[in-house]
Structure 1
Amino acid sequence: MVSVPRWWLARSRAERFDISLRWPLYGICCAEIPIAALAIFSERQHRVLGVVVFLLVVVAHTAANLYLLRESLGRYLHGKQVSSRALIGPIALAVAGVPAAALAFPRFAWIGDSDLRDGVILVLAGGLTFALTPMLRWMSLFGVMLAGSVLTAALAVRVEPGFAYLSTVAFIAFTCRISAWTLGLGWEIDRSRAVSAQLAIAEERLRFARDLHDTLGHNLSLVAVRSELAAALATRGDATAADQMLDVRQIAHDSLREMRAVVSGYRATDLATELAGAQSVLRSAGVNCRIIGDGSALTPASQTALGWVVREGTTNVIQHSDATVCKIELDLSPELTILRMENDGVRTASSSAASSSAVDSSTTATARSTGGGSSGTGIAGLRERLGSLGGTLTVGSTPGRFILVVQLPAST
């Protein structure tokens, strides 16, 4: 099995996509150096000092182009400003590269038919155009390519080299522009996925807030009115004030019971409902979710426990992974019930542990604040809940994959 580097696993999905597109562009930008070396070895006659100067100019031009390409991509993707230094260096070195080639190669001719001169201009100007492509509008880009083709044709005193220059540079620039557009599309999809996940969580919070408001709003208003009435009656020495306060107490008890019913309904889990909800939420977050198996034959206690696992596992996939695919598999046998959740968005072991710790800490704090004790929904809370039923929960990871496995006795 091929091991995946830790630095790659530590990256988000969007960062991996960015690297897979950005670095090939940087590689194309560095092609000037091997092309210049090939030209030197292919030429039988050359001047040593001129060759050294030419190579230095090409290397410096390549480095300047890399910096300019990085800045151009930043402008295209994030609207960053490109400094004048990033433009002056590549342009000046591209111009200096032509006389440096003339100094290096005796066969170099300024005017007339010269494949060497045309090749040098194509490499230097093409590399510069490639680095400029993400930041230029299409008309400006076409104008730059047209100016280079006209210059090449004028020096060659023939039209054919100009057409060859234009077609070659146009292909290179089009490749760079399409790659930049694809890179921007990848980041936009990642942002949309994050927004979808936040909207799904916000929608659930609003639903709970609405249910709680509808349940307690009327009763609390009634408590306020009855309390004011009792206070007014008590001020006048009316004996019915005590009856009003008894009614207030009864309303308070009813409100508490109704609130507990709302919270219990919110916290109650049904395995089929949780599986359908998990699939819907994950898909809205850009994660392809596949469910295998049916748990309708399980006992209510087992369904409740496994429903908690599905809910917590889904939350962790959205908040603490870069998954694109999640599989939830339920295996029922006469002796054992096994629930397996697996996704492809695992990060490094340290970051995964930190995420689990953060979730557990947050859950414990929430449980304490609501009087829930140790019945929180973190990994530790799930282990306690499953342990009371004789079940176990294990988590682990392989390169690129995170796996959560629950085992419950079938008789539970």
Structure 2
Amino acid sequence: MSAARGWWRGKSTPAKVETYTRWSFHFFAVIEVAALGLPVFGQVGPGLAGWLLAMVAGHAALCAVTASRALDWTRGRREQPVRLRWALGAASYGLVVATLVIQEYGPKGDGVATATGTVFGGVMIFGAGTAALGVRAPRRVSALVAGFAAGAGALSLLLGVPGPAALAATIAVLVGGAFLAFTSMFSVWLLDAVYELDAARETRARLAVAEERLRFGRDLHDVLGRNLAVIALKSELAVQLARRGRPEAVDQMTEVQRVAQESQREVRDVVRGYREADLGIELRGAQGVLKAAGIDCEMSGENRAAVLPGEVQSALGWVVREATTNVLRHGEAARCAVSLRMLEGRVVLTVENDGASGAPGRASGAADGGGGSGIAGLRERLAVVDGTLTAGAVGGDGFRLVAEVPLADVSGVTS
């Protein structure tokens, strides 16, 4: 049981919906056998009942295979099962002819008429509903169902069934087939919508990561742009002075060396994340990004960020940034809560979200162990300010990340 539960939890939401849809269509085959094949044993003799059950079971199995192949086609994994649909249609009409022949020329009795009539209508209804899975255009689906209904009525008349009974069979197949066809089309549409929403979610996550890269690029540009321009100008000036034999060229090159060394230090600060960040801006940015991604974000205590020292804001700002990015990239969160509290001489930042079970092995909320951007990287940044980080699963599918940094003295702030 635990293995089955783990197998189910290991699937993404679209995969779960696809599995549910696929087995629903397989269950239709079970319903067909249970509703059409088994009742005949109480209506006709065991010999005839066995033959009817065998025909219904074969038709149900063909319906299950067709539904599976058609569903694969809708997902782009197979070619359109045209031959299989034609085979299903031929099998359906063949069973209809067989039931009509039994009704007209086989054993007489009310039970025989009831059994063959039930099999007649049911086979056509299930055949029309299943064949509709292999068609996308609604007009073609309508034409397919109408064709099954018209064929049922025409065969009934050709084999001597009275007009009113043939009309009733036509209407029954039309209504039942239309209902099953609509159910099939709606199920496929719902599955496509789930996959499209999942793809949109992945796109939003990639955009969030791209925004982080752009922000990093802007930081590097701010650091290097001005300094490189100064280096270029002073180098050119030093070249001109050297050509004229002026001793000031040495001073200019010394200044170039100083600017280059300063640039190296600033670049290292950017790469390592040691530049001071505004924690309040990071918190508001995280809330905006999460809400834009359709995740309900609860924020509390963000007004306390302004009184924190710059190095503490920088460390906690990275925690917020990385946690937000990983909530978007991993798991299937619908809710995320971020709180900033002051407790007994320390500041505590908590990021908690649900949907962590959707990504086995990489729980959402900064569980990514990539170099410098996962738990290890965040702990390194917090260690600079003597902070600690704990992270782990909570509840059934939740994930909680808690960062704590000791404070010497922060006045005017209460928890």
CA contact (8 A) 1:290 1:328 kept: yes
- Letter of the 1:46 counterpart: G
Provide closer, same or farther for how the CA distance between residues 212 and 144 of structure 1 changes in structure 2, counting only shifts above 3 A.
same
Describe the SS at the equivalent of 2:371: helix
Of the three residues 80, 90, 93, the one matched with 2:91 is 93
1:216 partnered with 2:216: no
Ranked by relative contact order (alpha carbons within 8 Å, sequence separation 6 or more), the top structure is 1
Q: CA deviation at 1:57?
A: 3.2
CA contact (8 A) 1:197 1:284 kept: no
Q: Hey, what does 2:296 align to over in structure 1?
A: 288
Q: CA deviation at 1:258?
A: 5.8
Provide closer, same or farther for how the CA distance between residues 228 and 60 of structure 1 changes in structure 2, counting only shifts above 3 A.
farther
Partners of 2:378 and 2:270 lie apart in 1 by 22
CA contact (8 A) 2:124 2:152 kept: no
Q: Hey, what does 2:26 align to over in structure 1?
A: 26
Q: CA deviation at 1:65?
A: 1.7
Describe the SS at the equivalent of 1:347: helix
Provide closer, same or farther for how the CA distance between residues 7 and 308 of structure 1 changes in structure 2, counting only shifts above 3 A.
same
Q: CA deviation at 1:124?
A: 1.7
Partners of 2:170 and 2:101 lie apart in 1 by 24
CA contact (8 A) 2:348 2:405 kept: yes
1:190 partnered with 2:198: yes
**Pairs within 5 Å for 1:244-259:** 244-253=252-261, 255-256=263-264, 259=267
Partners of 1:203 and 1:303 lie apart in 2 by 20
Q: Hey, what does 1:67 align to over in structure 2?
A: 65
Q: CA deviation at 1:8?
A: 2.1
Partners of 1:335 and 1:228 lie apart in 2 by 54
Q: CA deviation at 1:283?
A: 2.5
Q: CA deviation at 1:193?
A: 1.0
Seq. identity, %:
33
Q: Hey, what does 1:311 align to over in structure 2?
A: 321
- Letter of the 1:380 counterpart: A
- 5+ unaligned residues in a row in structure 2: which ranges? 410-415
Q: Hey, what does 1:404 align to over in structure 2?
A: 401
Q: How many residues align?
A: 392
1:382 partnered with 2:374: no
Q: Hey, what does 1:171 align to over in structure 2?
A: 179
Q: Hey, what does 1:149 align to over in structure 2?
A: 149
**Pairs within 5 Å for 1:327-366:** 327-334=337-344, 337-347=347-357, 351-352=361-362, 359-363=368-372
Provide closer, same or farther for how the CA distance between residues 391 and 213 of structure 1 changes in structure 2, counting only shifts above 3 A.
closer
Describe the SS at the equivalent of 1:342: strand
- 5+ unaligned residues in a row in structure 1: which ranges? 364-376
**Pairs within 5 Å for 1:36-115:** 36-43=36-43, 45-48=44-47, 50-78=48-76, 80-98=78-96, 101=99, 106=106, 114-115=113-114
Cα RMSD between the aligned structures? 3.7
Describe the SS at the equivalent of 1:402: strand
Q: CA deviation at 1:72?
A: 2.2
Partners of 2:128 and 2:375 lie apart in 1 by 54
Partners of 1:267 and 1:251 lie apart in 2 by 18
CA contact (8 A) 1:289 1:325 kept: yes
Provide closer, same or farther for how the CA distance between residues 126 and 20 of structure 1 changes in structure 2, counting only shifts above 3 A.
same
Q: CA deviation at 1:295?
A: 5.4
Give the structure-1-normalised TM-score. Answer: 0.79
Give the structure-2-normalised TM-score. Answer: 0.79
Provide closer, same or farther for how the CA distance between residues 338 and 9 of structure 1 changes in structure 2, counting only shifts above 3 A.
farther
Q: Hey, what does 2:413 align to over in structure 1?
A: none
Q: CA deviation at 1:299?
A: 3.2
Partners of 1:103 and 1:340 lie apart in 2 by 74
Provide closer, same or farther for how the CA distance between residues 349 and 166 of structure 1 changes in structure 2, counting only shifts above 3 A.
closer
Describe the SS at the equivalent of 1:31: helix
Provide closer, same or farther for how the CA distance between residues 386 and 122 of structure 1 changes in structure 2, counting only shifts above 3 A.
same
Partners of 2:6 and 2:102 lie apart in 1 by 46
Describe the SS at the equivalent of 2:369: helix
Of 206-215 and 174-183, deviating more is 206-215
- Letter of the 2:379 counterpart: R
Of 71-80 and 57-66, deviating more is 71-80
Q: Hey, what does 1:199 align to over in structure 2?
A: 207
CA contact (8 A) 2:280 2:303 kept: yes
Q: Hey, what does 2:412 align to over in structure 1?
A: none
Partners of 1:282 and 1:264 lie apart in 2 by 25
CA contact (8 A) 1:134 1:177 kept: yes
Provide closer, same or farther for how the CA distance between residues 194 and 165 of structure 1 changes in structure 2, counting only shifts above 3 A.
same
CA contact (8 A) 1:57 1:93 kept: no
